[in-house]
Amino acid sequence: MHTSDSVRIAAGLAALWLAVGAAATALPGLPAMERGQDPGIRITYLYDNTAAVPGVRADWGFACLVEGRGARLLFDTGTKPDVLTHNAQALHIDLGRLDAVVLSHDHGDHTAGFPALGPRPGLPVFHAQGFNPAVVAALRGSGARLVPVSKSVEVLPGFHTSDEFGTTIKEEALLVDTPDGLVVIVGCSHPGIVPMLQQIMASTGRPIHTVLGGFHLVQTPADEVKRIVAALQELGVGRVGPTHCTGPDAVARFKEAYGDRFIQGGVGTVVTAPR
């Protein structure tokens, strides 16, 4: 994304505060998991390129709700506030009840849906330290408490960001600790899905049980995709859910390699893990 694109997105975000902010209320519908209940970890895709259930809208971008241990986190926000709002309503999810937001990187297909949340004074929003300043300024307009990340930090008990990865494009992942290993949720994996996972394993000392999100392989040659699939298997990654910018050919390659340990993406997909 060019600087002009980030500035344009930031301007759009600021304008949307005026349109959405004052009128924003808790979304109708039943929340996916009531606070105090803790059946495990539940990850619901709210924004994706495809739809997995009727009544939701597919659009280029990614967002998911992560619930567990009495907490509710939003990872990324997709591209369009109205699409995020529609999908949350269709899935009976109340985005008015969030304990934190984690943003993977500053591209609009992961941040521009943020105004759907309305004014959120004090809501912790964790973002890679290298975010474009114009996007940071626009996010600050919600009243949220912004937390720039360079090294892994605890978001809530059992939930951490990764370190900040990348050079030109700064990116972080969300790490969910489970008895079976880490569930790693990525936005677009611009720094490379393999080096990101290698560094996460080295820094945490934990195996990776599940990886979900965008692997950014849509333009990657087939031979390189094959090598990446093999590298994840060699790392011991137990389940994969590549979606968004992964590309249909690469998704098909992962599906073939992982079989019943492959997770199909799409808005409405629900992934569970033990706590």
Where the chain has pLDDT below 50, the residues are 1-4, 6-7, 9-11, 14-37
Alpha carbons 78 and 64: distance in angstroms, whole number? 9
Strands (E), 78-163: 100-103, 124-128, 145-149, 154-156, 159-161
How many domains does one find in the chain?
Answer: 1
Give the pLDDT score at 39: 62
Contacts of 135 (CB under 8 A, 6+ apart): 6, 9, 10, 13, 106, 111
**Residue ranges making up the domain that contains 31:** 3-273
Question: DSSP of 65-95, one letter per residue?
Answer: EEEETTEEEEE---S-HHHHHHHHHHTT--T
* pTM summary value: 0.87
Q: Which residues are bridge partners to 148 per DSSP?
A: 127
C-beta atoms surrounding 19 within 10 Å: 11
pLDDT at site 7: 45
3-class SS of residue 25: coil
For residue 266, the domain's CATH number is: 3.60.15.10
